[in-house]
């Protein structure tokens, strides 16, 4: 579909009513194959297959109320105690990662208060760690392995 800067995986794509769909292993169903969904599925597989993230602790399309309006986080990683640990926001490869993308994920984080935020358009990936005790944000040079995440 699109060339992206993520490892390939064996996709499961089908045609339904003349439209392409891709299997989402987290939602356990086929979803519309859009450029953003292509990035999401590759990123999820990257986290699971290459970074050791447990799929059982991840979910896609998590609804939450932001300033009285319902929004959906693209993906969320939870702790074993079911508290959110990481929010992931995806964009199509043609969409530039701008301040508005960071503002969007920050709005979600005003509700969830996670220590990690990730933004990716499939070509560029950004991850930051939020230290609430020190009131500081640190941009990381790589997406951390699951075993390296701070509590």
pLDDT score recorded for residue 84 = 96
**C-alpha span between 75 and 94 (Å, rounded):** 20
Instruction: Provide the CATH number for the domain formed by 35-140 in this structure.
Output: 3.90.1570.30
pLDDT score recorded for residue 2 = 75
Structure tokens given for 59: 């979910």
pLDDT score recorded for residue 59 = 97
Q: What is the rounded end-to-end Cα distance, in angstroms, of the chain? A: 36
151, pLDDT greater than 80 = no
More confident of the two residues 68 and 25? 25
**C-alpha span between 106 and 12 (Å, rounded):** 32
Structure tokens given for 55: 């799929």
Q: Show me where the domains of the chain are located.
A: 35-140
| Helix, strand, or coil (residue 112) | helix
Mean of pLDDT over the chain? 94
pLDDT score recorded for residue 54 = 98
- Greatest C-alpha distance within the chain: 53
Give me the mean pLDDT over the 19-38 stretch.
97
pLDDT band at 149 (very low <50, low <70, confident <90, very high): very high
Q: What is the pLDDT of residues 32-73, one digit of tens each?
A: 999 999 999 999 999 999 999 999 999 999 998 888 889 899
pLDDT band at 108 (very low <50, low <70, confident <90, very high): very high
Give me the mean pLDDT over the 100-117 stretch.
94
């Amino acid at each position: 579909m699109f060339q992206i800067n993520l490892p390939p995986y064996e996709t499961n794509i089908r045609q339904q009513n003349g439209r392409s769909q891709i299997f989402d292993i987290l939602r356990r169903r086929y979803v519309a194959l859009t450029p953003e969904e292509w990035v999401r599925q590759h990123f999820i597989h990257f986290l699971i297959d290459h970074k050791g993230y447990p799929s059982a602790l991840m979910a896609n399309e998590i609804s939450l109320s932001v300033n009285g309006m319902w929004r959906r986080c693209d993906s969320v990683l939870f702790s074993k105690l079911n508290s959110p640990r990481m929010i992931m926001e995806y964009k199509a490869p043609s969409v530039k990662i701008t301040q508005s993308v960071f503002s969007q994920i920050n709005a979600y984080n005003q509700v969830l208060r996670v220590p990690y935020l990730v933004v990716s358009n499939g070509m560029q990936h950004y991850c930051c760690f939020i230290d609430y005790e020190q009131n500081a944000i640190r941009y990381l040079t790589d997406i951390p392995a699951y075993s390296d995440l701070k509590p």
